[in-house]
Amino acid sequence: MHTEKLLEMKDPKEISEELHELKKQGEQFLFWDSVSRLVLAREIPLLLQKKNTGFEEVMSHVSEVLGIRDRKSYEEVDQRYNLTMY
């Protein structure tokens, strides 16, 4: 995953398109209540152990640009940009 590319993006539509591409490559994203941001599915074991995942900065940036602050805003953004794609 090229996180540098996501960190440079400022447009929500552009970020959502990149998330779609990453999803096609097998990445899974979901909203995680305890950190109030989108997370990569592979972060979950580390989040459960309260360890640094290495993706906090990029996924916080993605969540901020998309306007995701809580579950409600995540659901609205998911509907707008079809983040789950299914």
Give residue-wise pLDDT tens across range 32-83: 999 999 999 999 999 999 999 999 999 999 999 999 999 999 999 999 999 8
Give residue-wise pLDDT tens across range 4-30: 789 999 999 999 999 999 999 999 999
**Token code pair at residue 54:** 């290495």
Q: Structural domain boundaries of the chain?
A: 3-81
37: which strand partners?
Answer: 32
CB burial of 21-51 (b: ≥16 within 10 Å; e: otherwise) equals: ebeeeeeebebbeeeebbbbeebeebbeeee
Q: What is the DSSP letter of 33?
A: G
